[in-house]
Amino acid sequence: METTTSAARPAAAVSTASAAAIRLSYLEWGPVIAGAVGAAAISLVLLTFGTGIGLSAMSPWPGEGISLTFLAIVTAIWVAVVQVFSFAAGGYIAGRLRGGWADAGPAERHFRDGAHGFVVWALAVLVTAAAVTLTGMHAARTTTQAGATMAAGTAAGMTSRPDANPMQEPADYAADFLLRPGPNPPPAQAAGAPDQRESIGRVFIAGLREGKLSPRDRTWLVQVVTTRTGMSQEDAERRVDEAFNEAKAVESRLRDAADKARKATIVAAFLTAATLAVAAVAATAGAALGGRHRDERTGLRFFGRERFW
């Protein structure tokens, strides 16, 4: 009778094989998530603190408090510093909590630690972008509902008041200015004439688009002003020219404001991208530092003492 015996595998070989199986994936999500959450929490606290300081430095009274330009510069610097510090701390947490690899050299461990810091940065940015997108979608939905309610109210008002005009453009002010009564009261038939504000507004919109009033439109506007206000021909012509020049000035100011907002948005976009890029470097460097402290078993020192916390 033959018997077979199986040689027992050494425990060291089993543990080595298990460790190799475990290490097939070099990305540890636990430290990554911990670092991303820590970075988000630190950023929230510091940004809230900065908001409180900024609001306390402002004043609604003219000549008091800091200027908006200075506030914008300080805000940009503070946001950049907060992002860099927060991601550096989150990367350090991920690098310090990540398990070490005995089979990897110093260069490989340094790369893997830095990669964990980069993933901390990427995860936090993606989660923040998703939250901002959801918030923006909710705000857009709320705005749409409010706009529908306002439109319904405007329609009801226009039903009861046919002369109501919800448009708010430079042409509207020009139309109101043209139809102001002159020194001589208009005759009764002129006072009872149909309202021509919409027609006047369309004429002014066309004139603003072309940069000037056509002779035919200018002649018609002068006739409307003469009929509705009782002004003389010369005074009516002067009022038409003055109203159109004021409408052009208002349009120019609106375009300047829109252009300033566009330039400010461009600057903010570039600053945000640059800040996020520096924050990625900070998270990577923080994770590498945390990994080195982990391997060297160096304590984290704050105010001359090892803490956490």
pLDDT at site 140: 55
Specify whether 112 is located in the same domain as 136. yes
Q: pTM above 0.75?
A: no
Tell me the average pLDDT across 239-268.
87
Specify whether 249 is located in the same domain as 215. yes
Specify whether 41 is located in the same domain as 152. yes
Specify whether 182 is located in the same domain as 42. no
pLDDT at site 1: 38
pLDDT at site 246: 85
Residue 8 lies in a domain: no
Residue, of 206 and 155, whose pLDDT is higher: 206
Specify whether 73 is located in the same domain as 220. no
Highest mean pLDDT among 104-113, 118-127, 137-146, 203-212: 118-127
Q: Give the integer Cα–Cα distance in Å for 273 and 129.
A: 13
Residue 235 lies in a domain: yes
pLDDT per position as a tens digit, 138-192: 555 665 555 444 444 433 443 344 444 333 466 665 666 666 555 565 554 444 4
Structural domain of residue 109, as residue ranges? 27-157+274-306
Specify whether 133 is located in the same domain as 240. no
pLDDT per position as a tens digit, 23-70: 446 788 999 999 999 999 999 899 888 888 887 877 777 777 777 788
Specify whether 174 is located in the same domain as 153. no
Specify whether 47 is located in the same domain as 105. yes
Residue 265 lies in a domain: no
Residue 58 lies in a domain: yes
Q: Give the integer Cα–Cα distance in Å for 307 and 104.
A: 29
Report the 10 Å Cβ neighbour count for 185: 11
Specify whether 88 is located in the same domain as 134. yes
Residue 261 lies in a domain: no
Residue, of 182 and 127, whose pLDDT is higher: 127
The total number of structural domains in the chain stands at 2
Specify whether 101 is located in the same domain as 184. no
Quickly state the pLDDT bin for 91 (edges 50, 70, 90). Answer: very high
Residue 274 clears pLDDT 60, i.e. is over it: yes
Quickly state the pLDDT bin for 199 (edges 50, 70, 90). Answer: confident
Residue 53 lies in a domain: yes
Residue 89 lies in a domain: yes
Specify whether 178 is located in the same domain as 240. yes
Burial annotation 60-75 (CB, 10 A radius, 16+ → b, else e):
eeeeeeeeeeeeeeee
pLDDT at site 180: 59
Residue, of 294 and 159, whose pLDDT is higher: 294
Tokens of 171: 């042409």
Specify whether 124 is located in the same domain as 208. no
Residue 7 lies in a domain: no
Mean model confidence pLDDT for the chain: 75
